[in-house]
Amino acid sequence: EDKVVQSPLSLVVHEGDTVTLNCSYEVTNFRSLLWYKQEKKAPTFLFMLTSSGIEKKSGRLSSILDKKELFSILNITATQTGDSAVYLCAGGSGTYKYIFGTGTRLKVLA
Amino acid sequence: DAEITQSPRHKITETGRQVTLACHQTWNHNNMFWYRQDLGHGLRLIHYSYGVQDTNKGEVSDGYSVSRSNTEDLPLTLESAASSQTSVYFCASSSQPLEYEQYFGPGTRLTVT
């Protein structure tokens, strides 16, 4: 059965800290991995990763995929209170749909 | 601007009633998805469609149905609402099934009493 596991489940840090969120996957005929940020509303897209070892970067956020070890990480540097959210990852399977993890809840304290 | 909308945003219904949640997108995307989100479970796929007249079951499809009569809309029907279907429901669409981001609607909070 396909599954996506995120860790840690929750995390509390102070502004300015760097955090690393983990996403491991077991997805049949894996095609791509998505990262989303969810505040008290709909998930908003962050990154899509399809190739191993190539870092995607957007401001203070970056992500990389390791297709050999079946995981991805999302890094956030110099965290701000606005980064507080649930971060979701999803693995895309050969059956043409995404399997979502349960998310990591990040709280950034001022 | 293109968007994806859901209605109603909040709904309270009674056990046994039929309920339909609307999803409308103006992206002209072929692919549309319905998810439910519950604490401890993340987003779980209910049904999805890759085009007009195409519908497929997801991992938690029991008690739900969808129909796709045009590109823009994928309504989700709860045939006989149950308390276990109390949840937040998200609709999403994408231009391709995979390797493209899914755009999410604002969600519908459904409470079944």
- Dump pLDDT digits (tens) for B6-20: 999 999 999 999 999
Q: Are A88 and A71 in contact (CB under 8 A)?
A: no
| Cis preceding-peptide flag for A8 (omega within 30 of 0) | yes
Mark yes or no for CB contact A96/B44 under 8 Å. no
Across chain A, mean pLDDT equals: 93
pLDDT at A9 over 80: yes
pLDDT at res. B96: 75
Pick from A69, A84, A101, A95: which is nearest to B97 by CA? A95
- pLDDT at position B68 is 97
Cα–Cα distance for residue pair B113/B11, rounded to 1 Å:
11
Task: Assign B1 a pLDDT band (cuts: 50, 70, 90).
Answer: confident
pLDDT computed for residue B97 by the predictor: 66
| Averaged pLDDT of chain B | 93
CA distance A51 to chain B (A): 11
Q: Which residue of A has its CA nearest to B106?
A: A42
What residue of B is the nearest CA neighbor of A92?
B98
Cβ distance A97 to B48 less than 8 Å, yes or no, reads yes
* Residue A83 DSSP SS3: helix
Mutate to test the interface with A, among B25, B44, B102 (most CBs of A within 10 A): B102
